[in-house]
Structure 1
Amino acid sequence: MKARKAVLLALNLALTVAVTAPAFAQGGPPPSEPVAAPAEPGAIALYGDKTPGSAASEQWIKFMGRDLAVRNVTRPTITPVLPDPAKATGAAVVVAPGGAFMMLAMDHEGWNVARALADRGIAAFVLKYRLNPTPKDDGEAGKFMGAALQSELGHPMTGELLGKSSAPADGKAAVAWVRAHATQYGIDPARVGMIGFSAGAMTTRRVGLDADTPSRPAFLGYIYGPQDAEPVPADAPPMFDAIALDDSLFPSKGFPIAQAYLAAKRPVEIHGYQRGDHGFGLGVPGTTTTLLIDQFTAWLSMQGFLTRKDSK
């Protein structure tokens, strides 16, 4: 029973929302509540008239009366969050929320992140990618997701949750979509990157490193993703890699993926926060994880991605 609670707690951290499962009844996180789907002004069908699925499949919840999350997404969308033109740098980032490929933490790791980037002059595009299906009932969904996650602890990059997901395909399409509409949004198509959190980080990694990606992002923000190594292409995009060293979902293995980057002679920066656990989003108060977006922005500036072509 203790092991089961630990797995479900890890799931809660991974999704950044509490699932209404019986294991949370004694002293666990407060349950989420089902809510009507938000309006999502500005959301654009990712594949235009060919976009699959329907918004009717979606099930939305609100965590602690504050953060919206969604399950059973079958219709992918992309939502622009733009900076004040006076501050715009011409750089853009596709934002991929996490949720174990079974849920999306749309506020915590999506819209909130996009607004923070826009405040710093970076155009952000929140990707609501397709998810692996879960039971309609919230309680049953909690059990289902807990079991699915438990089966993949220790090997998330090679597990079925990622393997069966449409997230990497939607991520590739999102980067291509932003580049295709760069003029419309005042963006330099050569400075379109991607940042992802947890499952969104894994999605970002696949979009950036898969050899068959025709339009790799210019840079990658890899936020509390698994640190497992894999071969890094000679033309891999620069990577900003951040994780808390007390991450309870992806326990510390060091930084093998960063070491693989170094072996490939590709730019990489590592931030290993002392505390923050999994799912810290824009930061846990009282920890250095609150510096994440400013550090990511400073890194982008150091790489030259925030310098406009017309700058002198």
Structure 2
Amino acid sequence: MRLLFTFIVLSSIHLAHGQNYLLPLWKDQVPNQQKTKEVESRDTTDAVRIAYVQNPTIEVYLPGKSQATGQAVVICPGGGYSILAYDKEGTDIAKLLNGQGIAGIVLKYRLPKSQSNIVPHQSALMDAQQAMKLVRANADKWNIDPDKVGVIGFSAGGHLASTLGTHFDDESRPDFMALIYPVISMDTEITHMGSRKNLIGETPTEELVRLYSNELQVQVNTPPTFILHMMDDQVVPVENSLRFYEALRKADVPTEMHLYPAGGHGFGLAIGRGHLASWTDRLIEWLQHLD
């Protein structure tokens, strides 16, 4: 009886805090995909790392209805366009947002190094655009304002997020974006070479380099942007964020940037990392004061 009571109480607590959904991104055939013998891999040794994504999904974390602000954020985990740091830069972030009444939608997007892609560099952006459309299509059901749907991305996921924020149609444009230690440019002087090679290959054309150098793609309708980077980042140089900030400023796009002197790369929530852990407070404050 005591075990049954405990189960009922825990179930009630879960429902009070909201609901989770796992949905396929594409209803029928996944675009830009060919049949191969590849299978998705998931390493859970010390964190959740996903590779060779075959069936892209969104994992939806909703706050309790009474707490919902109407905001929603599509979350793009990083991993150099090779793997997805699915919990550290995905589900952990969704849970943080839920605590502030914000829906968190974790995107499991296809990675360009997979042989299942027909045109490797196109799949991740296709998935991100579809995620935005799917969230807005379910806005009423999920207590989301369709005009308050943004994107956050980490590292290579930050590149995907900034690509979404600069390469969009009317239905897939994010209302805001947050870029956390992001890859922005394909310029060999400042890019993360692993991400560049995985996305556009060893010897890309100048057209592809320019297309995915998102500091060159900023327009006046690029959404309001939050940027966070560490000055001592040895993986993705801070110049990525600096160049993007300057492009946003020139286009009069509302932008807030935070540069920390130290902290490195890939720290996720930065729990136990002193004042670095306060970066999430800055993000939440920014989200709360968006128009």
TM bucket normalised to smaller: 0.7 to 0.9
User: 1:295: Cα distance to partner?
Assistant: 1.1
Alignment-derived partner of residue 58 in structure 1: 40
State the distance in 2 between where 1:72 and 1:117 align.
Answer: 27
Aligned to 1:236: 222
Please, which moves more after superposition, 164-173 or 232-241?
164-173
Helix, strand or coil at the partner of 2:73: strand
**Letter matched to residue 300 of structure 1:** L
* 1:247 and 2:233 are equivalent in the alignment: yes
Deviation at 1:231, TM superposition (A): 3.9
CA distance in 1, matches of 2:289, 2:123: 33
Structural mapping, 1:163-312, within 5 Å: 164-210=121-167, 212=169, 214-226=171-183, 228=185, 229-253=215-239, 255-283=242-270, 285-304=272-291
Q: Secondary structure at the match of 2:289?
A: helix
Task: Report the AA paired with residue 60 of structure 1.
Answer: R
Q: What's the TM-score, normalizing by structure 1? A: 0.70
Whether the aligned pair in 1 keeps the contact of 2:130 and 2:172 (CA below 8 Å) is: no
Residue 132 of structure 2 contacts residue 171 of structure 2 at CA under 8 Å; is this kept in 1?
Answer: no
Match among 23, 30, 46 for residue 25 of structure 2: 46
AA matched with 1:61? D
Q: Which amino acid aligns with 1:286?
A: R
Q: In structure 2, do the counterparts of structure 1 residues 72 and 163 end up closer, same or farther at CA, with 3 Å as the change threshold?
A: closer
Kindly tell me: are residues 259 and 83 of structure 1, through their superposed partners in 2, closer, same or farther at Cα, counting changes over 3 Å? same
In structure 2, relative to structure 1, the CA distance for the partners of 1:211 and 1:193 (3 Å cut) is: closer
Pairwise CA RMSD of aligned residues? 2.3
Cα gap change, 1:107/1:244 in structure 2, threshold over 3 Å: closer, same or farther?
same
Question: Which blocks of at least 5 consecutive residues in structure 1 are unaligned?
Answer: 1-40, 136-161, 305-312
Q: CA deviation at 1:163?
A: 6.8
Superposed, 1:15-26 pairs within 5 Å as none
**SS of aligned partner of 1:42:** strand
Cα 1:92/1:244, change in 2 over 3 Å: same
Q: Distance in 2 between matches of 1:232 and 1:111?
A: 29
| Mean Cα deviation higher: 206-215 or 255-264 | 206-215
Deviations 1:64-84 (A, max 9, x none): 3xx111111021000110112
Contact 1:198 1:279 in 2 (8 A): yes
Letter in 2 for 1:239: T
Aligned to 1:131: 111
Equivalent residues of 1:45, 1:51 under 8 A apart: no
Aligned equivalents of 1:134, 1:301: Cα separation in 2: 38
Q: Which residue of 2 aligns with 1:149?
A: none
- State the AA in 1 paired with 2:261: Q
Output the CA distance in 1 between the equivalents of 2:222 and 2:147: 14
Cα separation, 2, equivalents of 1:289 and 1:165: 34
Aligned length: 236
Cα contact 2:73–2:152 (8 A) shared by 1: yes
Structure 2 Cα separation of the partners of residues 303 and 227 of structure 1: 23
CA offsets 1:59-104 (integer angstroms, 9 cap, x no match): 111243xx11111102100011011222110110101101111100
CA distance in 1, matches of 2:230, 2:165: 22
- In the aligned structure 2, how far is the partner of 1:243 from the partner of 1:129? 23
Question: Unaligned 5+ residue runs, structure 2?
Answer: 1-19, 186-214
CA contact (8 A) 2:113 2:120 kept: no
Amino acid at match of 1:242: L
Could you say what secondary structure the match of 2:44 adopts? strand
The residue that corresponds to 1:73 in the other structure is 53
Displacement of 1:125 in angstroms is: 0.7
SS across alignment from 1:179: helix
Q: Distance in 2 between matches of 1:206 and 1:263?
A: 18
